[in-house]
Amino acid sequence: MAPAPQGCPPLTPWLAALTALAVFKLRLDPAQKDKPGIPALIAATIFVGLAGWMLYFSFTSPLLTSADLSIFGKVSLPLVWLGFIGVVAAIYAAWVAIKHPGRHR
């Protein structure tokens, strides 16, 4: 049997949970004319809960390894992936804010 991928398990549930949370954003946004219904909100709630459970398991599972980084010492690989995603998202948000200052008004 092939070994399980090491270090990347939180990536999929994290991004999927963010996508499901967008359903709530659409529902609460007064500018939206077509809003998701109650069944979509229930499904998104269940999905976000399960994604949270998967993230919890990825951080606490003894199957997932940790890495020795020269700067930070021994860290969890899922934490490294989430940190990387956060840094990339912050860089993109700053780039969009600089290139298109009136885009999110």
Q: Give pLDDT tens digits for 8-21.
A: 556 677 778 888 88
pLDDT at 2 (0 to 100): 47
Q: Cα dist. 23→48, 67, 80, 101 in Å?
A: 11, 35, 28, 25
Phi-psi region of 35 (alpha: psi -120 to 50; beta: other; left: phi over 0): beta
pLDDT in tens, the chain (105 residues): 545 555 555 667 777 888 888 888 888 888 888 888 889 889 888 988 888 887 777 777 655 667 777 887 777 777 777 788 889 989 998 998 888 877 765
